Amino acid sequence: MRITEFAAAMGTQVANLGDDFEIKGITTLDAAGPGDVSFISSDKYLSQAASSAASALIVPAKASVASHPSIPLAEPWAGVLFLLNHLYPENRFVYFRGIDPSAAVDPSAQLAPDVAVGPGAVIGPRVVIGGGSVVGPNCVIGPDCKVGSNCALNAGAILCAETEIGNHVILHAGAVIGADGFKYEKVGGRLAKIPQVGRVILEDHVEIGANSCIDRASFTETRIGAGTKIDNLVQIGHNVTMGRSCIVVSQAGIAGSCKIGDGVIFAAQAGVADNIRIGNGVTIAARAGVKDHLPDGVVVIGQPARPFREGSKIIMAEARLPDMIQEVTRLKKRVEELEKKLAPGG
Amino acid sequence: MRITEFAAAMGTQVANLGDDFEIKGITTLDAAGPGDVSFISSDKYLSQAASSAASALIVPAKASVASHPSIPLAEPWAGVLFLLNHLYPENRFVYFRGIDPSAAVDPSAQLAPDVAVGPGAVIGPRVVIGGGSVVGPNCVIGPDCKVGSNCALNAGAILCAETEIGNHVILHAGAVIGADGFKYEKVGGRLAKIPQVGRVILEDHVEIGANSCIDRASFTETRIGAGTKIDNLVQIGHNVTMGRSCIVVSQAGIAGSCKIGDGVIFAAQAGVADNIRIGNGVTIAARAGVKDHLPDGVVVIGQPARPFREGSKIIMAEARLPDMIQEVTRLKKRVEELEKKLAPGG
Amino acid sequence: MRITEFAAAMGTQVANLGDDFEIKGITTLDAAGPGDVSFISSDKYLSQAASSAASALIVPAKASVASHPSIPLAEPWAGVLFLLNHLYPENRFVYFRGIDPSAAVDPSAQLAPDVAVGPGAVIGPRVVIGGGSVVGPNCVIGPDCKVGSNCALNAGAILCAETEIGNHVILHAGAVIGADGFKYEKVGGRLAKIPQVGRVILEDHVEIGANSCIDRASFTETRIGAGTKIDNLVQIGHNVTMGRSCIVVSQAGIAGSCKIGDGVIFAAQAGVADNIRIGNGVTIAARAGVKDHLPDGVVVIGQPARPFREGSKIIMAEARLPDMIQEVTRLKKRVEELEKKLAPGG
């Protein structure tokens, strides 16, 4: 694709263009060389553009970049995404077609004709997989799972029995969906494992990171809403229901039976106690620990998590704590002095 | 099984029974429909019972529920467990029998006749596996491992070489038992890896969550006591010995060489430093960070972890810290005023 | 190997030797029995030596141990390491040779003649693997990966496409190298996944723990420097560059685009925010949360992470906070009393 074709595809023109050229790649300002397009996602990076060896830049709509041919876009990321998808086709690493001879697919499984099953993958009885889905090498799909269309299960991802995932779902390597929830009760004087007979449902366009775990429900369902994106090494407990378009960053953990709204952001290493209700549009800061229900729209920070303003004040105050303890000791002494002076006969 | 049969099996009768019926399922009050049994595990949930569409309820022994036929039990969970086990047989998802032709079992391995080895599983030389155990799809059991009877290794679980597990042990998908402990020493001016030549022993009835890791010992053994239950994404370092009936919740981490008693609870995301001794019956709150030895029976909270009362006081006090800093500033001013008044000539 | 041969190999002699003997094992003071060598890595453990049943002890160079034949070494760990390597050869658990018939190796892959590929392993197109490397059972190596010589990929480890690892690299079971970084941008009103087209490079002598994840870069590379050792369940985000000889302990997480120097230590469960620069020789304490750039050589502690002295003071001061709040309340009352006395007419 030539730079002028790219601009036309985005509905715009190349400003400041010398010769048209074939686009070789898209990369960062620093890494770009001749033939590459780079990009500036926001005006604040404009000053870094001049020194880039890129042959053209995608820039914010009203930005003026004298140094390079530029493609102005209201959403620079839209252009970056377009080029990435053009230059790096989604399934470029899918080298197997149909069912690899080393895969073990149960005869009762129903796979759409264009499903690709990689070497060593195992697909259990009564599994149904929709068109365009890819099951990577050494994946395991347990009995009675349903997988929608255009899903990508990367190497070693595991769907435990009865898990249901929608369309355009991506599971990264080693993700485990539908393992037993963690539930024991004292019965007859010892801890008894309570069988977990519910399931996990991942709605459309959900993405689950490498080695993350989402547990099946005790009785009903654990549900991750459409468009929600979950990073690596995240734990989601049984019976959790999470809304649409949430973001859960690496190593966060959400305990069992939480009810979470839409558009909630869990930053890295955050934790949420069990049975917590979290409204829509909530943001939970990195490493925050949530123990109480949270209404729509709040931002919380700290351990225990508190509203941002309050939590920030406490964190700043902590830095002054050692000085303050000394100050209190001094004040105590001064008050004693004053008391002595005012005592009868003082 | 009919509801009257179930009651009889539990040694009791159905109170308030209309027609006898065949039990279709067991589930939550909300999810239950006609033919289903639901349950109330404690009196505090009694008020939620009336609106359930369940056909009968398991209730605490002395509870009176006018709205439904009810089965009163001293331990309601005992009834729930009975029905779950009846309706959902433990091995209902084990669709392979004997050794799947796609599994790679070393000729020197000794498997009891009724062991089931799933597609793609790999079993190394000199492995011994007891009767009734199931090795899931794509599991790997390294050389010289010993697996007891009636164990369940779910898909992709990995036993590294020389690991020994007892009877009725459950490993969830992706668990890794017996990887090298993390040990380096400066030798000749560079960090040298110290080979880890000890092993891991999981005693009877241990359960290990998805993608959790338990490292082999440096020289001797890492041991998890009978009946201990470990959740997902947990890390147990080398040389740890943990007692019986402990609970380790998701994403907790226990560093090397800790000695842990019986019945200890590690809540989610807790952490314990290396070489710590923890007594029996200790509870470590979620996200607590333990750096000191803990005697029997204590409950600790916070980072660093402190006894519950002390730790709670500190956490509550932190909320008042910003106000207090202002108060101290005001007090200082007031003391200054007083000092001025009392100064000679004031 | 006899004890005198071992001493000679280390360039020294056995002090206090009775009969020469064949070395049976090397283990801890407590676990050692007749025929075993044990060791004292530092003078502070000398008092524990007397009761050991070991037949000989490796001791620090100038230590005097009357109770046992002893091999004095300037670096006792050098002797321990020598014996471990002698008694437990590195590849003692590699029971497969060449390419196991159940492995799925793409015909375009180029494996050095002595590469060992275990049962169920999957190696994609155009992969190159150097001499002496071992690919464990059920490992997956994606298309276009490069693996150096003498690497060990333990069972179930996964290299996603285009990952490059150097020589003498060790990946433990379930490690995932090169999964997509976590990157979404609002495009056309919805969150769009930004394809991650960079790669991961692990330099020579890197070791990655079980179930740890290192994400591929957005555009360029995620790089782990030579000799860096990473423990289990660690998350390294996309675009991170880490220097040489770093130590990252279990469950630590480093967010995207951090630039980390040489010899940095991340203790367990530490976290680092994205785009942070960390100098050489920095130490980050267990569970510390780093949000700011850190210059060479600092030690930080706490959440948020602060320099050790400052952070320790705060942590100690927190313990006094509840008492101090009471003290301030008392002081306030006393100041009020004083003010009353000094008021006109007081």
Domain boundaries defined on chain C: 3-87, 104-309
Q: How far is the C-alpha of A80 from the C-alpha of A42, rounded, in Å?
A: 13
Q: What is the pTM of this model?
A: 0.97
Q: Does B111 touch chain A (CB under 8 A)?
A: no
By Cβ distance, the residue of C102, C143, C317 closest to A321 is C317
Restricting to C residues 175-214, those with a Cβ less than 8 Å away from any Cβ of A are 176, 179-180, 182, 184-188, 190-195, 197, 211, 213
Work out how many CB contacts closer than 8 A connect B with C.
193
Q: B343: pLDDT confidence band, cut at 50, 70 and 90? A: confident
E strands, A235-330, in order = 235-236, 241-242, 247-248, 253-254, 259-260, 265-266, 271-272, 277-278, 283-284, 289-290, 299-301, 306-307
By Cβ distance, the residue of B102, B161, B335 closest to C93 is B161
B-contacting chains (≥3 CB pairs under 8 Å): A, C
Domains A3-87 and A104-309 are alike in CATH topology: no
The interface predicted TM-score (ipTM) is 0.96
Fold of A3-87: 3.40.1390
Inspect the interface and report whether the beta carbons of C250 and B253 lie closer than 8 Å. Answer: yes
Residue with tokens 């909270």: B301
Q: How far is the C-alpha of A253 from the C-alpha of A240, rounded, in Å?
A: 11
Q: Does A72 touch chain C (CB under 8 A)?
A: no
Q: Does B44 touch chain C (CB under 8 A)?
A: no
Q: How far is the C-alpha of A245 from the C-alpha of A198, rounded, in Å?
A: 23
Q: Does B328 touch chain A (CB under 8 A)?
A: yes
Residue with tokens 């009050």: B29
Inspect the interface and report whether the beta carbons of C160 and A173 lie closer than 8 Å. Answer: yes
Nearest CA in chain C to B221: C31
Fold of C104-309: UDP N-Acetylglucosamine Acyltransferase; domain 1 (2.160.10)
By Cβ distance, the residue of C104, C187, C342 closest to A77 is C187
Q: Does A290 touch chain B (CB under 8 A)?
A: no
Residue with tokens 């022994």: B61
Please name which of A238, A328, A242 lies closest in space to residue A282, comparing C-alpha atoms.
Answer: A242
Q: Does B215 touch chain C (CB under 8 A)?
A: yes
Vertex A240: Cα angle to A234 and A243 (nearest 5): 90
Inspect the interface and report whether the beta carbons of A122 and B268 lie closer than 8 Å. Answer: no
Is the four-CA dihedral A110, A113, A114, A120 of positive or negative sign? positive
Given a contact cutoff of 8 angstroms between Cβ atoms, the answer to whether B119 and B95 are in contact is no
pLDDT tens, residue order, chain A (346 aa): 999 999 999 999 999 999 999 999 999 999 999 999 999 998 888 888 999 999 999 999 988 788 999 999 999 999 999 999 999 998 999 999 999 999 999 999 999 999 999 999 999 999 999 999 999 999 999 999 999 999 999 999 999 999 999 999 999 999 999 999 999 999 998 889 999 999 999 999 999 999 999 999 999 999 999 999 999 999 999 999 999 999 999 999 999 999 999 999 999 999 999 999 999 999 999 999 999 999 999 999 999 999 999 999 999 999 999 999 999 999 999 999 999 988 876 5
Q: How far is the C-alpha of B45 from the C-alpha of B40, rounded, in Å?
A: 6
| pLDDT reading at C191 higher than 60 | yes
Residues of B annotated catalytic, as ranges: 238
Q: Does C161 touch chain A (CB under 8 A)?
A: yes
A-chain CB neighbours of C125 within 8 Å are 95
DSSP A10-23: TTS--BT--S--B-
CA distance B9 to chain A (A): 15
Inspect the interface and report whether the beta carbons of B211 and C28 lie closer than 8 Å. Answer: no
pLDDT in tens, B164-198: 999 999 999 999 999 999 999 999 988 899 999 99
CA distance B275 to chain C (A): 14
A-chain CB neighbours of C160 within 8 Å are 154-155, 173
Tokens of A176: 């485990």
**What SS3 state is found at B316?**
helix
Q: How far is the C-alpha of C245 from the C-alpha of C202, rounded, in Å?
A: 12
Q: Does C102 touch chain B (CB under 8 A)?
A: yes
